[in-house]
Protein backbone atom coordinates (compact mmCIF):
# COMPACT_ATOMS: atom_id res chain seq x y z
CA UNK A 1 0.00 0.00 0.00
CA UNK A 2 2.19 2.78 -1.26
CA UNK A 3 0.93 6.32 -0.95
CA UNK A 4 1.66 8.50 -3.95
CA UNK A 5 1.34 12.24 -4.32
CA UNK A 6 0.48 14.76 -7.01
CA UNK A 7 2.13 18.15 -7.43
CA UNK A 8 -1.26 19.63 -6.46
CA UNK A 9 -0.88 17.95 -3.03
CA UNK A 10 -3.41 15.16 -3.38
CA UNK A 11 -2.49 11.70 -2.11
CA UNK A 12 -3.70 8.39 -3.52
CA UNK A 13 -3.38 4.90 -2.10
CA UNK A 14 -4.33 1.77 -4.04
CA UNK A 15 -5.84 -1.26 -2.28
CA UNK A 16 -6.85 -3.93 -4.76
CA UNK A 17 -8.70 -2.17 -7.59
CA UNK A 18 -9.84 0.79 -5.53
CA UNK A 19 -7.73 3.85 -4.70
CA UNK A 20 -8.45 6.24 -1.82
CA UNK A 21 -7.81 9.93 -2.54
CA UNK A 22 -7.33 12.85 -0.16
CA UNK A 23 -5.27 15.99 0.32
CA UNK A 24 -1.85 15.95 1.93
CA UNK A 25 -1.09 17.15 5.40
CA UNK A 26 0.88 19.98 3.79
CA UNK A 27 -2.23 20.96 1.77
CA UNK A 28 -4.49 21.07 4.84
CA UNK A 29 -1.94 23.16 6.72
CA UNK A 30 -1.81 25.64 3.82
CA UNK A 31 -5.61 25.82 3.54
CA UNK A 32 -6.21 26.39 7.22
CA UNK A 33 -9.50 25.59 8.92
CA UNK A 34 -11.64 23.57 6.52
CA UNK A 35 -15.32 24.52 6.78
CA UNK A 36 -16.91 22.87 3.75
CA UNK A 37 -16.27 20.08 1.27
CA UNK A 38 -18.18 19.44 -1.93
CA UNK A 39 -17.91 15.80 -2.99
CA UNK A 40 -18.94 14.26 -6.31
CA UNK A 41 -21.83 11.87 -6.83
CA UNK A 42 -21.03 8.16 -6.79
CA UNK A 43 -20.71 6.79 -10.30
CA UNK A 44 -19.09 9.94 -11.67
CA UNK A 45 -16.09 9.30 -13.88
CA UNK A 46 -13.10 11.60 -13.76
CA UNK A 47 -9.89 11.80 -15.79
CA UNK A 48 -6.49 12.14 -14.19
CA UNK A 49 -5.97 15.80 -13.32
CA UNK A 50 -9.68 16.66 -13.45
CA UNK A 51 -11.52 18.30 -10.55
CA UNK A 52 -13.11 15.68 -8.32
CA UNK A 53 -14.04 17.72 -5.23
CA UNK A 54 -13.88 21.19 -3.70
CA UNK A 55 -12.54 22.06 -0.27
CA UNK A 56 -13.20 25.40 1.37
CA UNK A 57 -11.37 26.88 4.32
CA UNK A 58 -12.28 30.10 6.10
CA UNK A 59 -9.81 31.73 3.69
CA UNK A 60 -10.71 30.38 0.27
CA UNK A 61 -12.07 27.64 -1.96
CA UNK A 62 -9.70 25.15 -3.59
CA UNK A 63 -10.23 22.37 -6.11
CA UNK A 64 -9.19 18.81 -5.40
CA UNK A 65 -7.96 17.03 -8.55
CA UNK A 66 -8.03 13.31 -9.22
CA UNK A 67 -4.40 12.11 -9.21
CA UNK A 68 -5.51 9.25 -11.48
CA UNK A 69 -8.64 8.68 -13.55
CA UNK A 70 -11.51 6.40 -12.63
CA UNK A 71 -15.04 6.02 -11.33
CA UNK A 72 -16.10 7.41 -7.96
CA UNK A 73 -17.26 4.38 -5.97
CA UNK A 74 -17.41 5.92 -2.50
CA UNK A 75 -17.31 9.37 -0.88
CA UNK A 76 -16.48 10.24 2.71
CA UNK A 77 -19.64 11.49 4.44
CA UNK A 78 -17.62 11.98 7.63
CA UNK A 79 -15.83 15.05 6.18
CA UNK A 80 -19.14 16.48 4.95
CA UNK A 81 -20.55 16.20 8.48
CA UNK A 82 -17.33 17.44 10.12
CA UNK A 83 -15.07 19.27 7.65
CA UNK A 84 -12.44 19.87 10.35
CA UNK A 85 -11.62 16.15 10.09
CA UNK A 86 -9.66 17.12 6.96
CA UNK A 87 -7.38 19.24 9.17
CA UNK A 88 -7.08 16.67 11.93
CA UNK A 89 -6.55 13.58 9.80
CA UNK A 90 -5.83 14.65 6.22
CA UNK A 91 -4.04 11.46 5.25
CA UNK A 92 -6.20 8.97 7.13
CA UNK A 93 -9.85 9.47 8.20
CA UNK A 94 -10.09 12.74 6.28
CA UNK A 95 -10.02 11.06 2.84
CA UNK A 96 -12.30 12.45 0.10
CA UNK A 97 -13.23 9.77 -2.44
CA UNK A 98 -12.50 6.22 -3.50
CA UNK A 99 -11.88 5.67 -7.18
CA UNK A 100 -12.02 2.50 -9.22
CA UNK A 101 -9.03 3.28 -11.41
CA UNK A 102 -9.34 3.03 -15.15
CA UNK A 103 -5.57 2.76 -15.67
CA UNK A 104 -3.36 1.86 -12.73
CA UNK A 105 -0.29 2.79 -14.75
CA UNK A 106 -1.23 6.47 -14.19
CA UNK A 107 0.04 6.05 -10.64
CA UNK A 108 3.58 5.65 -11.98
CA UNK A 109 3.60 9.33 -12.95
CA UNK A 110 3.06 10.37 -9.33
CA UNK A 111 5.61 10.96 -6.56
CA UNK A 112 6.36 8.51 -3.79
CA UNK A 113 6.80 9.74 -0.21
CA UNK A 114 10.52 10.50 -0.60
CA UNK A 115 9.98 12.40 -3.85
CA UNK A 116 7.05 14.36 -2.36
CA UNK A 117 9.06 15.27 0.74
CA UNK A 118 11.83 16.51 -1.55
CA UNK A 119 9.26 18.43 -3.63
CA UNK A 120 7.87 20.16 -0.51
CA UNK A 121 11.37 21.39 0.30
CA UNK A 122 11.47 23.22 -3.04
CA UNK A 123 8.28 25.20 -2.29
CA UNK B 1 2.64 36.59 5.17
CA UNK B 2 1.06 38.21 2.15
CA UNK B 3 1.51 41.55 0.40
CA UNK B 4 -1.36 43.87 1.38
CA UNK B 5 -1.56 47.49 0.20
CA UNK B 6 2.23 47.61 -0.04
CA UNK B 7 2.82 45.99 3.36
CA UNK B 8 3.78 42.43 4.28
CA UNK B 9 1.03 41.28 6.61
CA UNK B 10 0.08 38.00 8.29
CA UNK B 11 -3.06 36.23 7.06
CA UNK B 12 -3.00 34.17 10.21
CA UNK B 13 -0.86 33.21 13.18
CA UNK B 14 -0.13 29.53 13.91
CA UNK B 15 -3.46 28.75 15.60
CA UNK B 16 -5.39 29.70 12.45
CA UNK B 17 -8.25 31.99 11.50
CA UNK B 18 -11.04 30.10 13.25
CA UNK B 19 -9.29 30.14 16.63
CA UNK B 20 -8.20 33.78 16.24
CA UNK B 21 -11.72 34.81 15.33
CA UNK B 22 -13.34 33.04 18.28
CA UNK B 23 -10.64 34.25 20.64
CA UNK B 24 -11.38 37.87 19.69
CA UNK B 25 -15.08 37.40 20.46
CA UNK B 26 -14.32 35.56 23.73
CA UNK B 27 -11.36 37.53 25.13
CA UNK B 28 -9.18 40.04 23.22
CA UNK B 29 -7.36 40.15 19.92
CA UNK B 30 -4.54 42.48 18.94
CA UNK B 31 -4.48 43.75 15.35
CA UNK B 32 -1.55 45.68 13.92
CA UNK B 33 -3.30 48.16 11.63
CA UNK B 34 -0.33 50.50 11.25
CA UNK B 35 -0.67 50.26 7.47
CA UNK B 36 -3.72 52.47 7.70
CA UNK B 37 -3.24 56.17 7.04
CA UNK B 38 -3.34 58.29 10.17
CA UNK B 39 -3.84 61.92 9.27
CA UNK B 40 -4.15 65.12 11.23
CA UNK B 41 -6.10 68.05 9.77
CA UNK B 42 -5.90 71.50 11.31
CA UNK B 43 -7.30 74.89 10.41
CA UNK B 44 -9.78 77.44 11.69
CA UNK B 45 -12.67 76.04 9.63
CA UNK B 46 -11.42 72.49 9.20
CA UNK B 47 -14.78 70.80 9.95
CA UNK B 48 -16.63 73.06 7.54
CA UNK B 49 -13.95 72.56 4.90
CA UNK B 50 -14.02 68.77 5.23
CA UNK B 51 -17.79 68.81 4.76
CA UNK B 52 -17.22 69.98 1.17
CA UNK B 53 -15.82 66.47 0.48
CA UNK B 54 -17.95 64.23 2.72
CA UNK B 55 -21.69 63.79 3.42
CA UNK B 56 -21.08 63.35 7.15
CA UNK B 57 -21.96 66.01 9.70
CA UNK B 58 -18.50 67.04 10.86
CA UNK B 59 -19.47 70.44 12.22
CA UNK B 60 -21.85 68.83 14.71
CA UNK B 61 -19.08 66.64 16.08
CA UNK B 62 -18.14 67.40 19.70
CA UNK B 63 -14.58 67.23 20.94
CA UNK B 64 -13.77 63.67 21.98
CA UNK B 65 -16.27 62.11 19.60
CA UNK B 66 -15.85 60.33 16.30
CA UNK B 67 -17.93 59.83 13.21
CA UNK B 68 -17.82 57.44 10.26
CA UNK B 69 -18.04 59.05 6.83
CA UNK B 70 -16.89 58.73 3.20
CA UNK B 71 -15.24 60.78 0.48
CA UNK B 72 -17.65 60.95 -2.46
CA UNK B 73 -17.02 61.91 -6.08
CA UNK B 74 -19.31 63.84 -8.44
CA UNK B 75 -21.20 60.64 -9.28
CA UNK B 76 -21.70 59.98 -5.53
CA UNK B 77 -19.23 57.09 -5.84
CA UNK B 78 -17.10 56.39 -2.79
CA UNK B 79 -13.36 57.18 -2.79
CA UNK B 80 -12.78 55.85 0.74
CA UNK B 81 -14.57 55.32 4.04
CA UNK B 82 -13.02 56.44 7.31
CA UNK B 83 -13.40 57.63 10.87
CA UNK B 84 -13.11 61.31 11.78
CA UNK B 85 -12.20 62.08 15.40
CA UNK B 86 -12.61 65.58 16.70
CA UNK B 87 -9.84 66.52 19.10
CA UNK B 88 -9.06 69.79 20.89
CA UNK B 89 -6.97 71.28 18.15
CA UNK B 90 -7.47 69.07 15.09
CA UNK B 91 -9.37 66.35 13.31
CA UNK B 92 -7.72 62.94 13.49
CA UNK B 93 -8.63 60.73 10.55
CA UNK B 94 -7.77 57.13 9.69
CA UNK B 95 -7.80 56.30 5.98
CA UNK B 96 -7.73 52.83 4.43
CA UNK B 97 -4.20 51.71 3.53
CA UNK B 98 -4.99 51.13 -0.13
CA UNK B 99 -6.63 54.55 -0.48
CA UNK B 100 -4.45 56.76 1.69
CA UNK B 101 -2.18 58.17 -1.03
CA UNK B 102 -5.15 59.16 -3.19
CA UNK B 103 -7.02 60.45 -0.14
CA UNK B 104 -4.14 62.71 0.83
CA UNK B 105 -3.81 64.08 -2.68
CA UNK B 106 -7.59 64.59 -2.86
CA UNK B 107 -7.70 66.38 0.48
CA UNK B 108 -4.65 68.53 -0.24
CA UNK B 109 -6.02 69.57 -3.63
CA UNK B 110 -9.46 70.48 -2.35
CA UNK B 111 -9.20 71.65 1.25
CA UNK B 112 -7.95 75.22 1.15
CA UNK B 113 -6.79 76.69 4.43
CA UNK B 114 -6.43 73.26 6.01
CA UNK B 115 -3.08 71.89 7.07
CA UNK B 116 -2.89 68.17 6.42
CA UNK B 117 -0.24 66.08 8.13
CA UNK B 118 0.29 62.38 7.46
CA UNK B 119 1.39 60.80 10.74
CA UNK B 120 4.08 58.45 9.49
CA UNK B 121 5.54 58.77 12.96
CA UNK B 122 2.72 56.73 14.50
CA UNK B 123 1.68 53.09 14.56
CA UNK B 124 -1.94 52.01 15.04
CA UNK B 125 -2.98 49.03 17.13
CA UNK B 126 -6.50 47.72 17.58
CA UNK B 127 -7.34 45.78 20.71
CA UNK B 128 -10.73 44.16 20.22
CA UNK B 129 -12.96 41.93 22.27
CA UNK B 130 -14.83 41.81 25.57
CA UNK B 131 -11.61 41.69 27.63
CA UNK B 132 -10.03 44.69 25.86
CA UNK B 133 -11.30 47.21 28.41
CA UNK B 134 -9.94 45.24 31.35
CA UNK B 135 -6.54 44.80 29.69
CA UNK B 136 -6.14 48.44 28.73
CA UNK B 137 -7.60 49.50 32.08
CA UNK B 138 -4.50 48.04 33.73
CA UNK B 139 -2.54 50.92 32.22
CA UNK B 140 -5.12 53.66 32.71
CA UNK B 141 -8.51 53.16 34.32
CA UNK B 142 -9.91 56.17 32.43
CA UNK B 143 -10.55 53.89 29.44
CA UNK B 144 -13.30 52.14 31.42
CA UNK B 145 -15.31 55.37 31.47
CA UNK B 146 -15.09 55.94 27.71
CA UNK B 147 -18.18 55.01 25.71
CA UNK B 148 -18.00 53.58 22.21
CA UNK B 149 -17.12 56.30 19.70
CA UNK B 150 -15.13 58.41 22.16
CA UNK B 151 -11.47 59.32 21.90
CA UNK B 152 -8.88 60.78 24.26
CA UNK B 153 -5.16 61.41 24.50
CA UNK B 154 -4.01 59.30 27.41
CA UNK B 155 -0.93 58.05 29.19
CA UNK B 156 -1.08 54.27 29.06
CA UNK B 157 1.57 53.54 31.65
CA UNK B 158 4.71 54.96 30.06
CA UNK B 159 3.16 55.08 26.60
CA UNK B 160 1.60 58.26 25.26
CA UNK B 161 -1.34 57.41 23.03
CA UNK B 162 -4.44 58.69 21.33
CA UNK B 163 -7.07 56.12 22.22
CA UNK B 164 -10.51 55.70 20.72
CA UNK B 165 -13.08 53.22 21.92
CA UNK B 166 -13.86 51.83 18.51
CA UNK B 167 -13.11 49.08 16.10
CA UNK B 168 -14.35 47.05 13.21
CA UNK B 169 -15.13 43.63 14.65
CA UNK B 170 -18.56 44.16 16.19
CA UNK B 171 -16.95 43.84 19.62
CA UNK B 172 -16.08 46.40 22.23
CA UNK B 173 -12.50 47.53 21.87
CA UNK B 174 -9.98 50.27 21.30
CA UNK B 175 -7.81 51.68 18.55
CA UNK B 176 -4.56 53.04 19.88
CA UNK B 177 -2.29 55.44 18.01
CA UNK B 178 1.18 55.35 19.48
CA UNK B 179 4.59 56.67 18.38
CA UNK B 180 6.59 54.22 16.26
CA UNK B 181 9.47 54.09 18.73
CA UNK B 182 7.11 52.94 21.50
CA UNK B 183 4.84 50.76 19.38
CA UNK B 184 6.68 47.45 19.47
CA UNK B 185 7.27 47.51 23.20
CA UNK B 186 3.65 48.49 23.79
CA UNK B 187 2.39 45.74 21.49
CA UNK B 188 4.57 43.20 23.29
CA UNK B 189 3.17 44.35 26.63
CA UNK B 190 -0.37 43.87 25.31
CA UNK B 191 0.53 40.40 24.02
CA UNK B 192 2.00 39.52 27.41
CA UNK B 193 -1.43 39.90 28.96
CA UNK B 194 -3.15 36.51 29.33
CA UNK B 195 -6.33 37.56 27.48
CA UNK B 196 -4.57 38.88 24.37
CA UNK B 197 -3.57 37.01 21.23
CA UNK B 198 -2.33 38.41 17.89
CA UNK B 199 -4.88 38.35 15.04
CA UNK B 200 -4.16 38.30 11.30
CA UNK B 201 -5.93 39.58 8.20
CA UNK B 202 -8.03 36.44 7.78
CA UNK B 203 -9.86 36.79 11.08
CA UNK B 204 -9.99 40.55 10.67
CA UNK B 205 -12.07 39.94 7.56
CA UNK B 206 -14.32 37.24 9.03
CA UNK B 207 -14.97 39.37 12.14
CA UNK B 208 -15.98 42.45 10.18
CA UNK B 209 -18.09 40.34 7.81
CA UNK B 210 -20.06 38.86 10.71
CA UNK B 211 -20.47 42.39 12.06
CA UNK B 212 -21.93 43.42 8.68
CA UNK B 213 -19.36 46.18 8.25
CA UNK B 214 -18.47 47.37 4.76
CA UNK B 215 -14.90 47.03 3.50
CA UNK B 216 -13.52 49.39 0.88
CA UNK B 217 -12.82 47.64 -2.41
CA UNK B 218 -15.59 45.12 -1.70
CA UNK B 219 -18.85 46.72 -0.56
CA UNK B 220 -17.66 50.24 -1.30
CA UNK B 221 -15.93 51.61 -4.38
CA UNK B 222 -16.20 54.31 -7.03
CA UNK B 223 -19.37 52.71 -8.44
CA UNK B 224 -21.30 52.47 -5.16
CA UNK B 225 -23.12 55.34 -3.49
CA UNK B 226 -23.60 55.82 0.25
CA UNK B 227 -27.34 55.23 -0.15
CA UNK B 228 -26.86 51.96 -2.04
CA UNK B 229 -24.36 50.87 0.60
CA UNK B 230 -26.86 51.47 3.42
CA UNK B 231 -24.91 54.40 4.86
CA UNK B 232 -27.92 56.74 5.13
CA UNK B 233 -27.35 56.82 8.89
CA UNK B 234 -24.05 58.63 8.29
CA UNK B 235 -25.82 61.57 6.61
CA UNK B 236 -27.51 63.96 9.03
CA UNK B 237 -30.75 65.83 8.35
CA UNK B 238 -28.85 69.06 7.84
CA UNK B 239 -26.43 67.50 5.34
CA UNK B 240 -29.31 65.88 3.44
CA UNK B 241 -31.06 69.22 3.15
CA UNK B 242 -28.04 71.40 2.47
CA UNK B 243 -26.00 69.03 0.30
CA UNK B 244 -22.73 70.72 -0.48
CA UNK B 245 -20.62 67.59 -0.98
CA UNK B 246 -19.62 65.90 -4.27
CA UNK B 247 -22.51 63.96 -5.79
CA UNK B 248 -25.01 65.50 -3.36
CA UNK B 249 -27.76 65.76 -5.99
CA UNK B 250 -27.53 62.02 -6.69
CA UNK B 251 -27.51 61.17 -2.99
CA UNK B 252 -30.53 63.43 -2.40
CA UNK B 253 -32.40 61.88 -5.32
CA UNK B 254 -31.61 58.34 -4.10
CA UNK B 255 -32.70 59.23 -0.56
CA UNK B 256 -36.00 60.50 -2.00
CA UNK B 257 -36.76 57.83 -4.61
CA UNK B 258 -34.74 54.92 -3.28
CA UNK B 259 -31.63 53.51 -4.98
CA UNK B 260 -31.80 50.93 -7.78
CA UNK B 261 -29.84 48.45 -5.69
CA UNK B 262 -29.07 47.95 -2.04
CA UNK B 263 -26.53 46.19 0.07
CA UNK B 264 -28.00 43.32 2.06
CA UNK B 265 -26.97 40.43 4.23
CA UNK B 266 -27.32 37.02 2.60
CA UNK B 267 -27.73 33.74 4.44
CA UNK B 268 -27.02 30.66 2.30
CA UNK B 269 -29.25 27.74 3.31
CA UNK B 270 -26.63 25.01 2.97
CA UNK B 271 -23.05 24.83 4.17
CA UNK B 272 -21.34 26.02 0.95
CA UNK B 273 -19.79 29.49 1.25
CA UNK B 274 -20.52 31.94 -1.59
CA UNK B 275 -17.41 34.02 -2.17
CA UNK B 276 -16.97 37.55 -3.51
CA UNK B 277 -18.15 37.78 -7.12
CA UNK B 278 -20.81 35.06 -6.79
CA UNK B 279 -23.82 35.93 -8.96
CA UNK B 280 -27.15 36.37 -7.19
CA UNK B 281 -30.21 35.17 -9.11
CA UNK B 282 -33.98 35.41 -8.79
CA UNK B 283 -34.77 32.02 -7.28
CA UNK B 284 -37.72 31.44 -9.63
CA UNK B 285 -36.70 32.97 -12.96
CA UNK B 286 -32.92 32.62 -12.75
CA UNK B 287 -32.57 36.28 -13.75
CA UNK B 288 -29.37 37.88 -12.44
CA UNK B 289 -30.31 40.37 -9.72
CA UNK B 290 -27.04 41.07 -7.96
CA UNK B 291 -23.59 40.05 -6.85
CA UNK B 292 -21.87 38.99 -3.63
CA UNK B 293 -19.30 41.57 -2.47
CA UNK B 294 -17.95 39.62 0.52
CA UNK B 295 -18.68 36.06 1.43
CA UNK B 296 -17.25 33.24 3.40
CA UNK B 297 -17.71 31.31 6.57
CA UNK B 298 -18.74 33.00 9.81
CA UNK B 299 -16.92 31.17 12.60
CA UNK B 300 -19.15 32.53 15.39
CA UNK B 301 -22.33 32.10 13.35
CA UNK B 302 -21.02 28.63 12.42
CA UNK B 303 -22.47 28.98 8.94
CA UNK B 304 -21.65 30.54 5.59
CA UNK B 305 -22.53 34.22 5.38
CA UNK B 306 -22.36 36.87 2.65
CA UNK B 307 -23.03 40.50 1.85
CA UNK B 308 -23.99 41.71 -1.59
CA UNK B 309 -25.85 44.15 -3.76
CA UNK B 310 -29.29 43.17 -5.03
CA UNK B 311 -31.92 45.07 -7.04
CA UNK B 312 -33.90 47.00 -4.42
CA UNK B 313 -37.11 44.99 -4.74
CA UNK B 314 -35.21 41.91 -3.51
CA UNK B 315 -33.52 43.66 -0.60
CA UNK B 316 -36.21 43.14 2.06
CA UNK B 317 -35.18 40.58 4.70
CA UNK B 318 -36.16 36.93 4.08
CA UNK B 319 -36.40 37.31 0.30
CA UNK B 320 -35.48 33.99 -1.32
CA UNK B 321 -32.54 34.10 -3.75
CA UNK B 322 -30.20 31.73 -5.54
CA UNK B 323 -26.43 31.91 -5.40
CA UNK B 324 -24.52 30.60 -8.40
CA UNK B 325 -21.70 28.57 -6.82
CA UNK B 326 -19.59 26.43 -9.19
CA UNK B 327 -22.41 26.17 -11.71
CA UNK B 328 -25.08 25.23 -9.18
CA UNK B 329 -27.90 27.53 -8.05
CA UNK B 330 -27.85 27.22 -4.26
CA UNK B 331 -30.79 28.47 -2.17
CA UNK B 332 -30.29 31.48 0.10
CA UNK B 333 -32.26 34.34 1.56
CA UNK B 334 -31.61 37.96 2.38
CA UNK B 335 -31.22 38.89 6.01
CA UNK B 336 -30.61 41.89 8.20
CA UNK B 337 -27.09 42.88 9.15
CA UNK B 338 -25.17 42.24 11.31
CA UNK B 339 -24.98 38.44 11.56
CA UNK B 340 -23.94 38.69 15.20
CA UNK B 341 -25.13 40.94 18.02
CA UNK B 342 -22.79 43.89 18.33
CA UNK B 343 -21.42 44.40 21.81
CA UNK B 344 -20.28 47.97 21.88
CA UNK B 345 -19.84 49.69 25.25
CA UNK B 346 -22.60 52.21 25.82
Q: Domains of chain A (ranges plus CATH)?
A: 3-121 (2.40.50.100)
pLDDT over 70, % of chain B: 100
pLDDT for the residue numbered B343:
87
* Right CATH for B2-209 from 3.30.1360.120, 3.40.50.300, 3.50.50.60, 1.10.3720.10: 3.30.1360.120
B244 touches chain A (CB under 8 A): no
How far is it, in rounded angstroms, from Cα B286 to Cα A58? Answer: 28
Which residue stretches of chain B have pLDDT < 70? none
* Contact criterion met (CB < 8 Å) for B12 and A38: no
> Given CB atoms, is B18 within the 8 Å cutoff of chain A?
yes
- pLDDT at position B342: 87
Q: Which residues contact B327 (CB under 8 A, 6 or more apart)?
A: none
Quote the pLDDT of residue B98.
Answer: 96
Superfamily of structural domain B260-335: Aminomethyltransferase beta-barrel domains (2.40.30.110)
Res B181: pLDDT: 97
Residues of B in Cβ contact (< 8 Å) with A56: 272-273, 297
- Which pLDDT score, from 0 to 100, does residue B1 have? 85
Q: What is the pLDDT of residue B137?
A: 98
| pLDDT of res. B313 | 97
Q: Which of A32, A36, A54 sits opposite B16 (nearest CB)?
A: A32
Burial profile B55-90: b = 16 or more Cβ within 10 angstroms, e = fewer:
bbbbeebeebbbbbbbbbeeebbbbbbbbbbbbeeb
* Confidence check: pLDDT of A1 > 90: no
**Rounded-to-integer distance, Cα B256 and Cα B248, Å:** 12
- Judge: B326–A54 Cβ closer than 8 Å, yes or no: yes
A61: chain B residues, CB-CB within 8 Å: 273, 275
Contacts of B21 in chain A (CB under 8 A): 58
B275 close contact with A: CB closer than 8 A: yes
Chain B residue closest in CA terms to A58: B297
Mean pLDDT on A102-108: 95
What pLDDT is attached to residue B182? 97
| pLDDT the model gives residue B231 | 98
Domain spans, chain B: 2-209, 260-335
DSSP string over B147-195: PTTBEEEEEETTEEEEEES--SSSB-EEEEEEEHHHHHHHHHHHHHSTT
pLDDT tens track for A9-66:
999 999 998 999 999 999 999 999 999 999 999 999 999 999 999 999 998 899 999 9
Interface-testing mutation among A28, A59, A81, A82, with chain B (most B C-beta atoms within 10 A): A59
Amino acid sequence: MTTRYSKDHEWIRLEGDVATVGISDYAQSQLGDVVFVDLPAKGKTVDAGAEVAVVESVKAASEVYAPAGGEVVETNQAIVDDPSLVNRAAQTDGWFVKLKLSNKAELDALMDQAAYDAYLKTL
Amino acid sequence: MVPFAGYDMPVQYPTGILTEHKHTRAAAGLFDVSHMGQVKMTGADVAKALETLVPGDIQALDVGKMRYTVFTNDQAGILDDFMVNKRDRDLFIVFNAGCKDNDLAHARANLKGVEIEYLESHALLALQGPAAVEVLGRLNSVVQAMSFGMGATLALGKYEAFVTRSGYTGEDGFEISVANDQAEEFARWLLSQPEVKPIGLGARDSLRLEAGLALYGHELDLTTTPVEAGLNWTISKRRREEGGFPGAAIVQQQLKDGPARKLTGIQPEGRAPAREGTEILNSETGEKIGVVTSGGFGPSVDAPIAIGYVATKYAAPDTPLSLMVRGKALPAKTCKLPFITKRYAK
